[in-house]
Structure formats: C-alpha cells, structure tokens
Amino acid sequence: MPELASALGTLIQDGTDRLARARLPEPRREALRIWAELNQADPRAPLLAPRAQVEALMATSYLRAIARRMAGEPLAHVSGWSGFRHLSLRSDHRALIPRPETEGLVELLLDRVRDGRVVDVGTGSGCIALSLAYEGSFSEVVGVDCSADALALAGENRQLLGARMELVRGDLCSMLQAGGFDALISNPPYLTPAEYAGLDPSVRDWEPAVALQSGEDGLELTARLLIEGQRVLRIGGWLALELDCSRAQAAAQMASALGWDDVRIQVDLFGRERYLLAQRSNGR
C-alpha cells in the first residue's frame, strides 16, 4: 500500500497558507483550482471529503505546483488548463494564455459570419480557431502561426477536442491562398518594446515575447494584416482584429485609407476600444 500523506482538506489548507504568504490574490480559490485541474478532479472534493487521504506522490506534485505559483508562474501554466468561451484548453509557455477580451472578438465575428472558410492568423493555443470550429458551421477552419511550439500546443488542443481544424506554419498570410476565405480573425501582437518592458512580470517573464511585441509603434503586424487580408479574403469577406485600445483609432484610419468597407471599432466589456471589424471592398 502506498504511503499516505495528510488528509485532502489539510493539504489544501497548506496550499492556501503558502499562497497567502506569497501575497497572491484569492489563495483559497487558487489552491482549490490547482488541485482540481492537476488531477482532473471535482473541485468540490476537498469540501465534501476533507478527510480523504492523498497518496504521497500526489501530495508532492501538488505542493510543487503551489511552489511554482508562489514563484510567479501564471496560474494557467501551473494548472495546465485555461478556459475560453465554452472550451477548456491546455495552456503552457508555448503560447499566450487566452484572455476574456479575446472571447469578445470571437462573438463579434460570429455575429457577422458563421459559415464558409475562416482563418485565425497567429492562432497560438488555438483558442479562437477552436471556438469557431465548435460554435460555427464553417466548412474549413485554418489556424496559422509562425511558432512551431505554438502550433504543437494548438495541435494538442485540437486532438483533445476532436475538432476539425487545419494548422499551418507561416508568417501571417504568406502561406494562404488569394481570395480563399470568407473571414480572417486575429489577435496579433500590439505592444511597443517600451510597453513590453513595462509589463507585469507575470506576463513578461512567462509568455512568449513574439506574441506580444509589434514594432516601434505597436502597429506593425496590424498594418500587415490590413494589407495582406485584402489578398486572402473574398470580396465582402470579414476582417476581425483585436487591438490595443490606445491605437484603435489609428488602426481604423489605416483600414479606411487602405480601402476597407464598413470599418468599425467596437468596445470590450470594460468600455475600451478593443476590436476592429471591416469588410473587403469591391475595389480592392
């Protein structure tokens, strides 16, 4: 019989106390989440059966995860999971952690187009593409990324969900067929080097820089998507981009100057100008 550690309730309390000493917010909630997601267990178990005995190996693994969180590693990396819309996805250092703001981008695109062919440029963990595959009626969903590591993570999430999604390694739209898509969606990097340097260490030290920085003005990749999107979208096809709120109007002006139709800036749940929506015009 394996050696037994302390009771489950005692172990969770130990984790809570350690997180509290590290001055992390909501230490009890995080301690419970780490336990549940590490072990794919019911998060109510420590509350319903606090005296249940935990094998030493499981207890050690849990306390190691608590130590990683105390050192500043993001909770999604420590637990290995992140929620996005209706999905639970694997999450680690290979791609950005999915953010709630990006869920709004998916909603806005689905309000405009739900079928045909759609491409997610800079797919990262695959959260956007997989949500579109799950919620829409698209004949084809393609996820593009320049990072082999990110595509590997997206592939793991695709397999986990049993989703139909093609993954392509490439630099933005360079590998995509001209006029082949009904919609293009992207949450591209949009920070300047100075903004990146000033990020909270919980982001800057743990998430890939290539997914965050976009040239000296923060608009380099947004500008490229506005140009390249005209080539890959059919006439009338929709473009949906997530933006930095401080540069939303500049991005909209750029889109209008390039000939996009129906250019609109939409706000996120916090009232910040976060999303750009536009259609490919007849004249481009």
φ, ψ dihedrals at 195, nearest 5°:
-65, -40
* Contact yes or no for 230/176 (Cβ under 8 A): no
Greater pLDDT, 43 or 252: 252
Angle, to 10 degrees, between the axis of helix 27-39 and the axis of helix 8-21?
130
User: Given this model, what pLDDT does residue 237 score?
Assistant: 97
Encode burial over 51-71: b for 16+ CB neighbours within 10 A, e otherwise. Answer: eeebeeebbeebbebbebbbe
Does the pLDDT of residue 36 top 80, yes or no? yes
Residues 92, 167: Cα–Cα separation, whole Å: 18
> How is residue 76 written in tokens?
């999604």
Does the pLDDT of residue 142 top 50, yes or no? yes
Whole-number mean pLDDT of the chain?
93
Percentage, residues of the chain above pLDDT 70: 98
Residues 126, 106: Cα–Cα separation, whole Å: 12
Does the pLDDT of residue 158 top 50, yes or no? yes
User: Given this model, what pLDDT does residue 283 score?
Assistant: 62
Q: What is the dihedral of CA 159, 161, 165, 169, to 10 degrees?
A: -50
User: Given this model, what pLDDT does residue 145 score?
Assistant: 97
Residues 280, 229: Cα–Cα separation, whole Å: 8
Q: Where are the domains of the chain?
A: 4-71, 82-279
User: Given this model, what pLDDT does residue 284 score?
Assistant: 53
Q: Do domains 4-71 and 82-279 have the same CATH topology?
A: no
The stretch 241-255 carries a mean pLDDT of: 96
Reply yes or no on domain 82-279 having CATH 3.30.420.10.
no
User: Given this model, what pLDDT does residue 1 score?
Assistant: 32
Q: Cβ of 4: how many Cβ atoms within 10 Å?
A: 11
* Contact yes or no for 222/243 (Cβ under 8 A): yes
* Contact yes or no for 3/55 (Cβ under 8 A): yes
Query: Tens digits of per-residue pLDDT, 194-213?
Result: 999 999 998 999 999 999 99
Q: What is the dihedral of CA 152, 155, 157, 159, to 10 degrees?
A: -140
Does the pLDDT of residue 5 top 60, yes or no? no
User: Given this model, what pLDDT does residue 45 score?
Assistant: 76
The stretch 57-79 carries a mean pLDDT of: 93
Does the pLDDT of residue 30 top 50, yes or no? yes
Q: Which fold has domain 4-71?
A: Helicase, Ruva Protein; domain 3 (1.10.8)
Query: Tens digits of per-residue pLDDT, 84-140?
Result: 999 999 999 999 999 999 999 999 999 999 999 999 999 999 999 999 999 999 999
The stretch 229-246 carries a mean pLDDT of: 96
User: Given this model, what pLDDT does residue 193 score?
Assistant: 94
Angle, to 10 degrees, between the axis of helix 56-70 and the axis of helix 27-39?
130
Rounded to the nearest angstrom, the gap between the alpha carbon of residue 64 and the centroid of all alpha carbons in its chain is 25
Does the pLDDT of residue 2 top 60, yes or no? no
DSSP string, 54-78: EEHHHHHHHHHHHHHHHTT--HHHH
Does the pLDDT of residue 76 top 90, yes or no? yes
Percentage, residues of the chain above pLDDT 90: 84
